[in-house]
Structure 1
Amino acid sequence: MLPAMTDAAAPPLPNASELTQDGPAVRLFLVDGSAYLFRAYHALPPLTRKSDGLPVGAVQGFCNMLWKLLRDMQGDTPTHLAVIWDHSEKTFRNALYDQYKAHRPPPPEDLIPQFPLVREATLAFGVPAIELPGYEADDLIAAYACKARDIGGEAIIVSSDKDLMQLVGDGVSMYDPMKGVRIEREQVFEKFGVYPEKVVDVQALCGDSVDNVPGAPGIGIKTAAQLITEYGDLDTLLARAGEIKQPKRRETLINFADQIRLSRALVKLDCDTPLPQPLDALTVREPDKEALAAFLEQMEFRSLARRVGDGSAAATPGTLDRPAAPPKAPVVSVSYMGAAARAAAHPVEPVKIDHAAYACVRDLATLKAWVAKATDKGLVAFDTETDALSSATAGLCGVSLAIAPGEACYIPISHCEKADGLAFEAPADIEQIPLADVIATLKPLLEDPAVLKVAQNAKYDIAVLARHGIQVAPIEDTMLISYVLEAGLHGHGMDELSELHLGHKPIPFKQVAGSGKGQISFKHVALPEATAYAAEDADVTLRLYHHLKPQLARASLSTVYETLERPMPAVLAMMENNGVRVDPEALRLLSNEFSLRMAQFEARAQELVGRPFNLGSPKQIGDVLFGEMQMKGGKKTATGQWSTDSDVLESLALEHELPRVLLDWRQLSKLKGTYTENLIAAIAPSTGRVHTSYALAATTTGRLSSSDPNLQNIPVRTEEGRKIRKAFVAAPGHVLISADYSQIELRLLAHIGDIPQLKKAFQEGLDIHAMTASEMFDTPIEGMDPMIRRRAKAINFGIVYGISAFGLANQLGISQGEAGAYIKTYFERFPGIQAYMDATKAFVREHGYVTTIFGRKINIPDIEAKSAAHRQFAERAAINAPIQGAAADVMRRAMIRMPVALEAAGLSTRMLLQVHDELVFEAPEAEAERACAVVRAVMEKAAEPAVALSIPLTVEARAASNWDEAH
């Protein structure tokens, strides 16, 4: 059991009466989280969660200890509180001495999965959980304690760690919650034989075997204290070491002087450590009762949950003077957060937005004054308001600027009245600056290389402005900064980021423009409402930039942002504006063909059933398959209906004709609705081209996605899909070039997993699938049966996606037993792949994320899910993510370099599309061959110099009059 922490055992902590105007305005409690956790782990017997066997004993002990501390603090009125954690990465001390903490044993296996849970627990209790990459918890404690002391406040460190005793002094003390004692100057002297200001010198001499700090061999605390007391300080001692009478002691100090100085650097805490959150963000506040109850219920800590419900602890704060509706606790290391904690935690005090302070700029002189102020500042956030979602066709309604928090304006351009559903030109009383004058005035600012422009989802805004002759640069994108920092943890839209990081809910679009059939275009919104909405967007974006950008450096993700994300909006904006030609007549003919074949499939399906039914109704299909025809293998959804998804039908199609007919009908229905009809509707009248929209922050791995229309999912391996690609054509006198990476993910697996057989095959240019088949089935490559190669190919491409025996059996049309044997043989012949998978799973379980070879961080929050099935899915995602993410990073690097390379080669070739591992270009016929060579060279060398791949990347590039023939 945990040692009793009785009120009688502890000296009285500061009470409310001490907080007078003459007393400290800040009383900061800093809890050493790791010390709490390890004490909880060793004090309690092992405990697992009943529902799934997850170890939770240390979490339970930690919660009880934190609960007790919060309860005991009720009469002591701390003003600020945080739990400080060590970050799992190495710190700056490892750079000073690579053996620092090298001998520490790894944490107990059953404690590792509890690391993220205690952080989630901290946040659920409404307490900030603070950690910082590159620094230890002790350094953060030192920095916060010194900050509180320097502003005249008081810091109380809740820990008994001897390393923290060097901080004790005026304004800083320690409290050991296990023994219930206060540690001040006299207690430090009892421990070290010197007062706190000399503790570092003593520790430098005696070293620390736990942290592997070398110190001076043979000198312990007692001797070290005597020497420091006699000579005054360490530097004086080392300078006068030759005077020491004891020969061994004298020789040790002389011979190991550099080692002793190194030890001092290792043990000295850094009060200048950057603060991940300002001191004001640590204000004591009540926990969110619902979030706390949800966390305790999730952990199955029902006894503690009952105490919370009884109001017997910090949920009823007693004499604590707290705001009635406090902001939620800050989050620093979001990778450790679960859903419950994220819902309960908030990083900063809510910002105060005064919409009435925003300006509506309606004359040229005022606009020029705003431009002058923005130019002088050297930083401006901007946003465009338009009358459509497509940046390639949208009309510009206005532009907003923000040059400081709360200092923003809106410049209306094309606002007009609307009556009886008809829009009229702006009457005289809607005074606006003409579009041409706005563009001419903003262009120098937005193109000024000395002024940094900040936007949220900058791609859209720069694409809109590019159509008006403004090439915005340089650009910062708050959406992409958030994406680099926290991909996979939450969305990256402005409204969500504002609520998460600023505590502010922006004006929703429907509030100013309505919703549904009653929604109006933004150009019809009245100017006061339009100004409040639009200027707020720029204001919030600027605030988000100031909040998020510094975190990139702290998280060591600046390079990822600068090289893989920040340049992409300009590249994609150019591609979206370029668009691609499609042949509408070819699409109409294809749509008619699909309709005819769908009717044939429908007739055949009804013939097999013996009656008419709706092939588009999942309910009717389920009733037919599992009710009337009594097919085996059915499963019901949460609504109680039979599942008829593609996996179910694919499985049934192995033994029955009807499911295959249904699948074929569905495929044609999807192609007809999604492509042949939608592509015709998507042709922009102004350009005669289709302009897709790319999403940069929609996937966790860095892959791009496209919409309106989606061009990523046109089937390339089916005849129907190839027919759709034939409708994508080049302009007269031009050709389309398709440049496609060959087996890039398998190549990256060979490199990342260090698989000798695969690397050798790629280096020698062998047929990788034939080589795999030869390894697995002891079959010569020459004269190999195509079916054997096909099986090896299915495993090669499926293995990193966690393909199961069931999935492989369905894909190859073989039994599950045979498929399982294939997978087993595969791992036996390629043990490096299994080793890579095992190492990746271990890493993601410990850290909650994986990284690509280019440094992209991919969070896998479901690795801590309650459901075992969800955790297993998360493991499969973690195995695939470094490979798919690296492929996405390679593609981004190629796309970023491509426009410059084409221009440098004197080519007018334009990049139009990106689809998975493929880029599509439009080139004049006369330069097609040279363009193919440039494109191929850029793509094949895209990883360099950041990563020296151990395998070659190869690209196939072809030119033709349409996309299908070029592919």
Structure 2
Amino acid sequence: MKKGDHLFLVDGSGYIFRAYHALPPLTRKSDSLPVGAVSGFCNMLWKLMKDARNTDVGIVPTHFAVIFDHSSRNFRHDLYSEYKANRSAPPEDLIPQFGLIRQATRAFEVPCIEMEGFEADDLIATYARMAREAGGDTTIISSDKDLMQLVGPSVAMYDPMKDRQIGIPEVVEKWGVPPEKMIDLQALTGDSVDNVPGVPGIGPKTAAQLLEQFGDLDTLLARAGEIKQDKRRQTIIDNADKARVSRELVTLKADVPVSEGLDDFLLQPPNGPKLISFLKAMEFSSLTRRVAETTGTEAAEIEPATVVVQRKEEAHGPDLDIAAPAQASAPQTAAATTAAETPPATEAVSARAGDGLSPAALADTRAHAAVAEKIDTDRYVCIRDLRTLADWVAEATEAGVVAFDTETTSLDPMLAELCGFSLATRPGRAAYVPLIHKSGRGDLLGGGLVENQIAVRDALALLKPLLEDPSVLKVAQNMKYDLVIMNRYGIDIVSYDDTMLISYVLDAGANGGHGMDSLAERWLGHKTIAYKDVAGNGKAATTFDFVDIDKATRYAGEDADVTLRLWRVLKPRLAAKGLASVYERLERPLVPVLSQMEQRGISVDRQILSRLSGELAQGAAALEDEIYRLAGERFTIGSPKQLGDILFGKMGLPGGSKTKTGQWSTSAQVLEDLAASGHELPRKIVDWRQLTKLKSTYTDALPGYIHPETKRVHTNYAMAATSTGRLSSSEPNLQNIPIRTTEGRRIRTAFIADKGHKLVSADYSQIELRVLAHVADIPQLRQAFADGIDIHAMTASEMFGVPVQGMPSEVRRRAKAINFGIIYGISAFGLANQLSIAREEAGDYIRRYFERFPGIRDYMDGTKAFARENGYVETIFGRRAHYPEIRSSNPQVRSFNERAAINAPIQGSAADIIRRAMVRMEKALPEAGLNARMLLQVHDELIFEVPDAEVEATLPVVRTVMEGAAMPAVALKVPLQVEARAADNWDEAH
């Protein structure tokens, strides 16, 4: 090897497990030999080799080798007898594929390197060092964190799953330390996969902070007494020896006495006949055809090779090479791997896991396989002892990906008790762990714990390392719920995917909902067990802790199994549709943020609510008397039938229409239209409905939501409930409290800060109009926002020719109604009602508006055309909102979808901006040394609880984060503006 040469080193062991876990099980048709991992490996290596010989794709290697782990013990076992002691044997159907994969490597004319007594990572470190000394560069094909210590000026890594180079900046970005400190970081954090002890309780973030403070591990251990946190200081002092041993275990050996030199790794041209011979033996017809086309080989003339299959009992025997058809088979002496090899890190357990297929092809392959592979709920395992649970945890750790689900006593995660949990390590392989199931029906006749259940504390002690292991991907359906549950039990789940959110990103507004039951039917062709079938229905219903354990096992096991299968189908669709960044930047990072906000809750003053409830009752009673007087009789105001008969039957008011049931329609819109036409009774009805709704929904109901332990109200945020990306709030809904009415504002006074704190309300100013000015590129609006001019006054001046100075309030009000109405596709009829003017006059206003701001009409027409062609629209960050009925032949349906499609990019972009702000805010506040806590999100507003002494320091941080939230993804053409104030209650702060 000489200066300027480039060495590619492939982490072959990582590839094996990625191929095995990335693809559905596959067997050779002729004899049912498991070959799924071999197929995935071959496809991955073919793509890598093909790109390696293509000068158009970037770096072209001159040298190439695949490195494998050897099955024997190595020097690390002598250093620490427990090293990798928790590893279980690989799956039985994978064992015969180890030898086949080595044979495949040789069929590719690629060196297949392994060495007894050393791990693949040590060989990679040694060859990277040799290349550097020879003046060459090295690219390591892997995303394994253990190899990141090798990254430097002449050594980089390449993650084929994400098509991403990993250099020094990427290591720093991910781990908080440069490559030369990765050894010390891993010595502190340990590695549950390899049973490297580390220092208990020290995670990557804390380790990075300590190394930044003290420089290196030796200095940290020598000066541990200077650590301010008592518990952390004592933990490090007590476990200093473990840290030192761990450092030796994770340090890669770069001086392995290798027998092959770099010149043995010269990249050879592909041997078409030899490779095709092996592929035909494996019966990989598609790849055979691609190889034949690329190499110019006539595949029909090639005979299948003779390959040696190592069964489980032969796994330590020789690994035989393959021969081209005209040659005899020649034995080799490299042993097949039988011990569990390093499972992939979280990033490696991607749905794109390198099988060589395009994302679209992988998504299609998995979708077909998912429907074909039937679900058998009788196969699920019930775990009732610690030994079995430990084996499952080890299996999940080894797999690198596990589906996880909790079963609880309540849908409210702040009140729910954990009944058990389920795990799935691969499709069809699932288990349930019952914890507190009781006998009886939950009444006075039952309630004793069923025997042979693991104690909650013991089960969670085993589960905690798995859920907190960043190298294992946890897959869940609605992970936020499980996060809150497990947080309450002292466990912080890290590294996860959420099938509900993946589906939401892919299909918001299309294909129905994103719940597991509907997704299972849509993607797996499977109807899941209904909850009522295991827990009962109506009066016979009981909580899950009283469900029979056999039924619970089938139900909970299915939850985990289906979730894992859905993940395998849905995840590659993100890449195939170009939506991975939406999920990774807008959805997944928000899950822990909302989880923390829900757990924090907000304080509510019961006395204020009680007083308001009485006042609202008096106001409603007074309105009732007025209503009876105007109607000329008493009737049940809340009855749509009786109200309709009064308005349209007795009084003969205009505009009446009947519903499908034959009753008069008395919807809010009908009453508002009548009130706008000057009819007094409908106006009184509207006012009465508002008062009674506020009373029942808030002043009467909110005290019932106060948590018995925290004494605060904890709302629940739904992330996948709207088509535009807006969050919704429920139990209780805190987003619909009216802000423009006196009564609504008074309800907000009941939301208070704890003693010694203030509530801070930070609200985007006219964010949707600013987004409109950006996407529609309206010069006048852009300039007005840039200059800080009153946008409504500017619009009125543009439309009506009235000077901004001294403008009548009525003129400005009309312009404001048009500004906001245009965003929602308001019609002349709607604007006429809102402004109490003639429809013709309202139509003139709208026409004049479009004449003054033609870019808005262009935007609306362009958006409708795009939506009709594609079935969806996009926000400025790439989120899609689907409107499949925009091509409907029904004019009303089509018109509704057109208006929604016009609004979605505006409202959705604003929603995305505040999502980005929330994700950044959760980190920005503590990084600024502040103790402020984000409590609520209400559309364009964030509410914080801030210590009195930190209010002045908090406000600028909040404004900076929110105003810069779009950057760097999108450089808005108009500035965002945030108004933030502090007060004792929510109303005063707003």
The TM-score, its normalising length taken from structure 2, stands at 0.64
CA distance in 2, matches of 1:663, 1:919: 30
- Contact kept? 1:737, 1:959, Cα under 8 Å: yes
Identity %: 58
- The count of corresponding residues between Structure 1 and Structure 2 is 658
CA distance in 1, matches of 2:579, 2:445: 48
Q: Deviations over 1:574-611 (max 9, x none)?
A: 11111111111211111111111111111111111111
- Contact kept? 2:441, 2:447, Cα under 8 Å: no
Aligned counterparts, 1:692-841, within 5 A: 692-841=715-864
Matched, 1:276 2:298: no
Residue among 434, 438, 456 paired with 2:455: 434
CA distance in 2, matches of 1:148, 1:541: 35
SS at match of 1:689: coil
Match of 1:504 in 2: 526
CA distance in 2, matches of 1:379, 1:505: 24
Matched, 1:453 2:474: yes
Specify whether residues 501 and 741 from structure 1 end up closer, same or farther in structure 2 by C-alpha distance, changes over 3 A only.
same
Q: Deviations over 1:49-73 (max 9, x none)?
A: xxxxxxxxxxxxxxxxxxxxxxxxx
Specify whether residues 620 and 170 from structure 1 end up closer, same or farther in structure 2 by C-alpha distance, changes over 3 A only.
farther
CA distance in 1, matches of 2:359, 2:921: 39
Query: How far is 1:170 from its partner?
Result: 9.3
- Contact kept? 1:351, 1:503, Cα under 8 Å: no
- Where does structure 2 lack aligned partners over 5 or more consecutive residues? 1-28, 32-55, 58-278, 288-292, 301-355
- Contact kept? 1:400, 1:534, Cα under 8 Å: yes
Match of 2:557 in 1: 535
Matched, 1:946 2:969: yes
Query: How far is 1:377 from its partner?
Result: 1.4
CA distance in 2, matches of 1:393, 1:479: 23
2:940 maps to a residue whose letter is D
CA distance in 2, matches of 1:726, 1:454: 41
- Contact kept? 1:153, 1:171, Cα under 8 Å: no
Match of 2:646 in 1: 624
CA distance in 2, matches of 1:611, 1:148: 89
Match of 2:659 in 1: 637
1:710 maps to a residue whose letter is N
Query: How far is 1:558 from its partner?
Result: 0.7
Q: Deviations over 1:504-541 (max 9, x none)?
A: 11111011001112110000001111111111111111
Specify whether residues 167 and 779 from structure 1 end up closer, same or farther in structure 2 by C-alpha distance, changes over 3 A only.
farther
SS at match of 1:907: coil
CA distance in 2, matches of 1:411, 1:154: 42
- Contact kept? 2:516, 2:563, Cα under 8 Å: yes
Q: Deviations over 1:894-929 (max 9, x none)?
A: 011111001101111111111110011111111112
Residue among 936, 940, 947 paired with 1:913: 936
Matched, 1:889 2:912: yes
Residue among 388, 403, 410 paired with 1:381: 403
Matched, 1:487 2:508: yes
Residue among 838, 841, 865 paired with 2:888: 865
2:686 maps to a residue whose letter is L
CA distance in 2, matches of 1:347, 1:707: 38
SS at match of 1:562: helix
Matched, 1:585 2:602: no
SS at match of 1:491: coil
Q: Deviations over 1:352-379 (max 9, x none)?
A: 2222221111122221111111111111
- Contact kept? 2:656, 2:664, Cα under 8 Å: yes
- Contact kept? 2:363, 2:569, Cα under 8 Å: no
CA distance in 1, matches of 2:364, 2:950: 61
Match of 1:903 in 2: 926
Q: Deviations over 1:283-303 (max 9, x none)?
A: xxxxxxxxxxxxxxxxxxxxx
Specify whether residues 884 and 854 from structure 1 end up closer, same or farther in structure 2 by C-alpha distance, changes over 3 A only.
same
CA distance in 2, matches of 1:277, 1:476: 18
1:455 maps to a residue whose letter is A
- Contact kept? 1:386, 1:522, Cα under 8 Å: yes
Specify whether residues 425 and 869 from structure 1 end up closer, same or farther in structure 2 by C-alpha distance, changes over 3 A only.
closer
SS at match of 1:703: coil
Query: How far is 1:656 from its partner?
Result: 1.1
- Contact kept? 1:149, 1:171, Cα under 8 Å: no
Q: Deviations over 1:468-515 (max 9, x none)?
A: 111100111011111111111121001111111111111110110011
- Contact kept? 1:584, 1:680, Cα under 8 Å: yes
Moved over 4 A (4+): 147-155, 165-172, 271-275, 277-281
2:725 maps to a residue whose letter is G
- Contact kept? 2:773, 2:782, Cα under 8 Å: yes
Matched, 1:844 2:867: yes
Aligned counterparts, 1:145-544, within 5 A: 276=361, 348-419=370-441, 421-422=443-444, 424-427=446-449, 430-489=451-510, 490-544=512-566
Matched, 1:612 2:612: no
Specify whether residues 347 and 697 from structure 1 end up closer, same or farther in structure 2 by C-alpha distance, changes over 3 A only.
farther
Specify whether residues 274 and 916 from structure 1 end up closer, same or farther in structure 2 by C-alpha distance, changes over 3 A only.
closer
2:469 maps to a residue whose letter is D
Specify whether residues 375 and 732 from structure 1 end up closer, same or farther in structure 2 by C-alpha distance, changes over 3 A only.
same
CA distance in 2, matches of 1:355, 1:844: 42
SS at match of 1:690: coil
1:664 maps to a residue whose letter is D
Match of 1:957 in 2: 980
Query: How far is 1:418 from its partner?
Result: 2.6
2:781 maps to a residue whose letter is L
CA distance in 2, matches of 1:586, 1:742: 29
Query: How far is 1:168 from its partner?
Result: 14
CA distance in 1, matches of 2:767, 2:877: 15
Query: How far is 1:148 from its partner?
Result: 13
Match of 1:325 in 2: none
1:817 maps to a residue whose letter is E
Match of 1:16 in 2: none
CA distance in 2, matches of 1:785, 1:616: 40
SS at match of 1:276: helix
- Contact kept? 2:370, 2:569, Cα under 8 Å: no
Match of 2:594 in 1: 572
Specify whether residues 808 and 167 from structure 1 end up closer, same or farther in structure 2 by C-alpha distance, changes over 3 A only.
farther
- Contact kept? 1:492, 1:697, Cα under 8 Å: yes
Query: How far is 1:440 from its partner?
Result: 1.6
CA distance in 2, matches of 1:274, 1:931: 44
1:918 maps to a residue whose letter is E
- Where does structure 1 lack aligned partners over 5 or more consecutive residues? 1-22, 26-95, 98-146, 156-164, 173-270, 282-329, 331-345
Specify whether residues 505 and 168 from structure 1 end up closer, same or farther in structure 2 by C-alpha distance, changes over 3 A only.
farther
CA distance in 2, matches of 1:565, 1:892: 8
Query: How far is 1:150 from its partner?
Result: 11
CA distance in 2, matches of 1:959, 1:680: 24
CA distance in 2, matches of 1:170, 1:872: 58
CA distance in 2, matches of 1:168, 1:586: 83
The TM-score, its normalising length taken from structure 1, stands at 0.65
Match of 2:702 in 1: 679
- Contact kept? 2:759, 2:943, Cα under 8 Å: yes
Specify whether residues 423 and 805 from structure 1 end up closer, same or farther in structure 2 by C-alpha distance, changes over 3 A only.
farther
CA distance in 1, matches of 2:582, 2:448: 46
CA distance in 2, matches of 1:904, 1:898: 10
